[in-house]
Amino acid sequence: MSGTVEAKLAALGITIPAAAAPVANYVPYVVSGNQLWISGQISAADGKFLAGKLQTEADIEAGRAAARQSAINLIAQIKAALGDLDRVKRIVKLVGFVNSAPDFIDQPKVINGASDLFAEAFGDAGRHARSAVGVSALPFNVSVEIDAVIEFA
């Protein structure tokens, strides 16, 4: 364990997984100046997908759990890119995509699963701008995919 953020995550019972390798023609992250741009991370854990379309196959709590797992996977990419989570100065922006039935309107409640974790782990630096978007499908029928922009020291 290298620092304060990892200690907070451990206190929450979270073990940071290995960063996922890309499954197509893209890179998992790009560093530009003092910004880290992270490709979309899906709701998967231990080789299993947290899947289902919100409202017809999954409820809001399952969606929040999927968003939280996507955030954990984002944190794994941050650690892979920066080596030390304490280098994060600010979670600048999250974009959350929610696999939604046509009349599902609670995408913000679902993506709160990720936003809440970033605030718990990074404190004020974890509070961010955000979009929560409903989409008709996501890879592997996962419930959530999230990408992020991070400022670092």
Share of the chain above pLDDT 90, in %: 97
Domain that residue 62 falls in: 4-152
pLDDT at residue 57 greater than cutoff 50 = yes
pLDDT at position 64 over 60: yes
The CATH number of the domain holding residue 109 is: 3.30.1330.40
pLDDT at 2: 60
Confidence of residue 1 (pLDDT cuts 50, 70, 90): very low
* Mean pLDDT computed over 64-86: 98
Lowest mean pLDDT among 43-47, 73-77, 93-97, 115-119: 43-47
Q: Which tens digit of pLDDT belongs to each residue from 10-20?
A: 999 999 999 99
The total number of structural domains in the chain stands at: 1
β-sheet bridge partners, residue 134: 98
Helices (H) and strands (E) in the chain, counts: 3, 7
Let me know if 146 is exposed, middle or buried by CB neighbors in 10 A (0-12, 13-18, 19+).
buried
- The three-state DSSP-derived secondary structure of 12-44 is CCCCCCCCCCCCCCCCCEEEECCEEEEEEEECE
What is the band of 128 on the pLDDT scale with cuts at 50, 70, 90? very high
